[in-house]
Copies of this chain bind each other. A is one copy, B any other.
Amino acid sequence: MITSAGNAQIKRIIALQKKSKLREEENVFVVEGQKLFEEIVQNRRSVIEKVYVSESYRMKCDLTDGLLVEVVSDSVFRSISETVTPQGILTIVTMPDYHLEDILKQDKVRLLILEDLRDPGNLGTIMRTAEAAGFDGIILSRESVDMYNPKVVRSTMGAIFRMPFFYIEDFNEMLKRLQNTGFILYATHLHGAVDYTETAYAKKTAVLIGNEANGLSEQSAHTADYRIKIPMEGQVESLNAAVAAAVVMFEVKRQQNEAGNQV
């Protein structure tokens, strides 16, 4: 049992929670909680490197055989946990490996494209919503918040192990590449020309959502095929990014389901 906060493994976990660079170098990230642990086991998208459990957790729960489990004293466990009331289980897993080509070559695809999204809670919620709305993948600009940030991981509620996502170095080049492979790009924009409910979404649809404070860059908005807007009443200046994404994604789903039903 690990009883010292100075233990090298403990120090590594804390560093992995905080530093995206270290996560990238080692190709692993930290997943906290029972439910997410079960998601990993069930979805098999990530390989478990090691499981850390608190002493109290160990006394209460059985763990699957064949896993590398390390028991940690309750007080040390609190120091590696990012939550106020730790559940007592923390897993180090490899990053899931998704393939963009497999998604792009399909006939019907719904992609969500995020440019410089910054808020961890927003990103987690968006990922969870995208899965529910039947989206096939998420593309993010390199400057967006890291998907493996512990707060993002938690707020995806497991969608991180199911929804393919890709960080792209040259964002504008990717937009053009999508257009060249048949995608129509719909940019949500405060000054959009078309109401999002009056847009007919293509079979290969990509919805663009911009940064929380500044929206989409001029360049991205310009590259897009359509600028769509969500009409707002009252004096609201803009919607929360996760809300805007949800409203548009579920409208795409509604329209395409309706079209599907008519065939």
Identify the A interface with B (CB < 8 A). Answer: 121, 125, 128-129, 131-134, 157-159, 162-163, 197, 230-237, 239-240, 242-243, 246-247, 250-251, 253-254, 257-258
A212 to B211, CA, bound (A): 26
| Residues of B with C-beta under 8 A to A125 | 240, 242-243
Select the residue from A233, A242, A246 with max chain B CB neighbours within 10 A: A246
Known A125-B243, A242-B243; 12 more pairs at CB < 8 Å: A125-B240, A128-B239, A129-B239, A129-B243, A131-B232, A132-B230, A132-B232, A163-B234, A230-B250, A239-B246, A246-B247, A247-B247
A162 to B235, CA, bound (A): 8
- Whether the Cβ atoms of B236 and A128 lie closer than 8 Å is yes
- Whether the Cβ atoms of B132 and A236 lie closer than 8 Å is yes
A117 to B254, CA, bound (A): 27
**With contacts A125-B240, A125-B243, A243-B125 known, is A233 near B162, CB below 8 A?**
no
| Residues of B with C-beta under 8 A to A129 | 239-240, 243
| Residues of B with C-beta under 8 A to A234 | 131-132, 134, 159, 162-163
**Which listed residue, B232, B240, B250, touches A247 by the CB 8 Å rule?**
B250
- Whether the Cβ atoms of A236 and B197 lie closer than 8 Å is no
| Residues of B with C-beta under 8 A to A239 | 128-129, 132, 246
| Residues of B with C-beta under 8 A to A235 | 131, 158, 162
- Whether the Cβ atoms of A132 and B246 lie closer than 8 Å is no
A253 to B157, CA, bound (A): 29
A221 to B110, CA, bound (A): 33
* A-B contact list, 29 entries, CB within 8 Å: A121-B121, A125-B240, A125-B242, A128-B236, A128-B239, A128-B240, A129-B239, A129-B240, A129-B243, A131-B232, A131-B234, A131-B235, A131-B236, A132-B234, A132-B236, A132-B239, A133-B232, A133-B233, A157-B236, A159-B234, A163-B234, A197-B254, A231-B257, A233-B253, A240-B242, A243-B243, A243-B246, A246-B246, A247-B247
A235 to B236, CA, bound (A): 33
Residue of B whose beta carbon sits closest to that of A35 = B237
> How near does chain B come to A247, taking the closest CB pair, in angstroms?
5
> How near does chain B come to A233, taking the closest CB pair, in angstroms?
4
> How near does chain B come to A106, taking the closest CB pair, in angstroms?
15
